[in-house]
Amino acid sequence: MKIEQIYTGCLAQGAYYIVSENEAVIIDPLREVKPYLDRLVKDNVTLKYIFETHFHADFVSGHLDLSKKTGAPIVYGPTAAPEFEAIIAEDNQIFEIGKVKIKVMHTPGHTMESSTYLLIDENGVETAIFTGDTLFLGDVGRPDLAQKATNLTQEDLAGILYDSLQSKIMPLDDSITVYPAHGAGSACGKNMQKET
């Protein structure tokens, strides 16, 4: 198994490339997909899924082009309603990639479809979480950005985010590596650490 963070400093945004055996997934890809396509060819692997942690307001995702060029389906968490073909996963749904698994954890609050992806390694050990804008290093996602998309107030969304963090993420083992969608410099949080 290999996990690679593809970090773009100008956007303070991290995409993730995970390979197990001859299959790969990409989480939150950037708009320019050629580097991902080149990587797939170089590693001689098939892109099995494209995971989106949520609908992004701060950058244009490459998920549609990547799906069109590879045939890999796009996966969103529960409650997402995209205007294009995608798998809308259920909370706790498991996706298999090579010898590893990715478990969907619905973690609304930043947006209502926000989901965290839990990576379970080939030995069945929960290894890493890809938190999108739910949890950063040093901060949590802003609960005020999705107000227009829902009938909820900023306070309502903050409460939902709190519940997501307490019920889904905090119970996980402390040894798990946190891979957020953004680092310091992003408008999605105020107190993010420089580490990514």
Helices and strands counted in the chain (H then E): 3, 11
Whether 85 has a pLDDT exceeding 70, the answer reads yes
In-domain check, residue 187: no
In-domain check, residue 139: yes
Rounded Cα distance, 47 and 96, in Å? 12
Rounded Cα distance, 185 and 191, in Å? 9
Rounded Cα distance, 117 and 131, in Å? 7
In-domain check, residue 113: yes
Domain count, the chain: 1
Q: How far is CA 152 from CA 82, 115, 122, 159, in A?
A: 20, 18, 40, 11
In-domain check, residue 56: yes
User: CB within 8 A of 67, min separation 6: which ones?
Assistant: 50, 73, 74
In-domain check, residue 111: yes
Which domain, by its residues, includes 91? Answer: 2-180
Instruction: Report the CATH number that the domain containing residue 28 is assigned in CATH.
Output: 3.60.15.10
In-domain check, residue 17: yes
Q: Mean pLDDT, to the nearest integer, of 28-47?
A: 93
- From 172, 126, 177, 181, select the one nearest 14 (Cα to Cα): 181
In-domain check, residue 196: no
In-domain check, residue 189: no
pLDDT at 184: 45
Q: Mean pLDDT, to the nearest integer, of 77-97?
A: 96
The beta strands (E) that lie in 36-176 are given as 46-51, 74-76, 87-88, 94-97, 100-106, 115-120, 126-132
pLDDT at 181: 78
Whether 147 has a pLDDT exceeding 60, the answer reads no
